[in-house]
Every structure is written in structure tokens, then in C-alpha cells.
Structure 1
């Protein structure tokens, strides 16, 4: 069953975060994920939104998502994400058709 990672970032050090962004495509392409959305100007429909960036990623399974997230290559660039931003993320299941 497909899963989605939904992440919100509050970027406080753009230079450090940009190091993460620069390394992300090379690492991500080695896994089975599909980048669905990256947005720094979303339309707020309800509530408040003070985050800098939102990202939605699809993976074919929970296992593949966690393999990517826990890989040494991803963790090597994630240190820049963590140094340059505060992130909140969740993993949700797709609807079972």
C-alpha cells in the first residue's frame, strides 16, 4: 500500500537548508519515492500557517519510505536540514482502493 510523507519546515538558516536541498535530488533518486509537491507559498484554507516550506512525497510502501529516511546517504544530508530548519513530518497510508 502506498504511503505519503507530509512535512512542514520552518527554515531559520537558508544557507544551511540549501545544502540539504542541493543534496536531496541525488539521494532521493536512488529510492522508489515520488516527489509530489514542494511549496513555499501554499494557499491557507483553514487555521494558520507559519511554516516556510511544505513537501509531500509518495512511496510504494511504509518499508520503502523508512528505508529511504533511515539510509546513511539521507542521514548525511539530513544534518543540514536539521541545522537549517525545524521540521514536522508524518507518514500516512493511502486509501485502499
Structure 2
């Protein structure tokens, strides 16, 4: 069953975050993933929620998404993301 990775990001070093973006795409694709949303403008319809940056990725399965997240290939990008931003990330089965 497909899985979605949903990410809310607050960037505090935009230049460093650009480097993360360059490295993250090949890592996502290596695990069969694709970006569904990558930083598009959001509009809150309910509640007090207005993420600075919002990302949605799709993977073939939750297991594959977790393999990507813990992979050696993504580790370098993830370290840069942690230095350049603060975020929240969920993985969820899709329908």
C-alpha cells in the first residue's frame, strides 16, 4: 500500500536549505519516492496552521519510506536539513 511522508518545515538558513533540496531529490527517487508537494503556498481552511514550508512525498510503502529516511544516501541531506531548519515529519499509509 502506498505511503505518504508529510513534512512541516521552518527554515532558518535558506542558503543551506537549498543544498539540502539538491541532495534530497536523488535520495527520494532512489527509494521509489516522488514529491507530491514541494514547498507550494498553503492556505489554512481550519485552525491556526500556516506552515512556512510544506512537503508531501509518496513512496510505494511505509517500509520503503522508512528505508529512505534511515538510508545512508539520505543521511547527508538529513544532517543539512537539521542544521538549516526545524520540522515535523509523519509517515502514513495512503489509500
TM over 0.5: yes
The answer on whether the counterparts of 2:42 and 2:50 sit within 8 Å (CA) in structure 1 is no
Matching residue of 1:27: 27
List alignment gaps of at least 5 residues for structure 1.
Answer: none
Deviation at 1:39, TM superposition (A): 2.5
Runs of 4 or more above 3 Å deviation: none
State the superposition RMSD in angstroms: 1.3
Deviation at 1:46, TM superposition (A): 1.2
Deviation at 1:26, TM superposition (A): 2.1
The answer on whether the counterparts of 1:5 and 1:91 sit within 8 Å (CA) in structure 2 is yes
Matching residue of 1:88: 88
Q: 3-state DSSP class of the match of 2:31?
A: coil
- Aligned positions, number: 95
Q: Distance in 2 between matches of 1:50 and 1:62?
A: 26
List alignment gaps of at least 5 residues for structure 2.
Answer: none
TM score, norm. by length of structure 2: 0.90
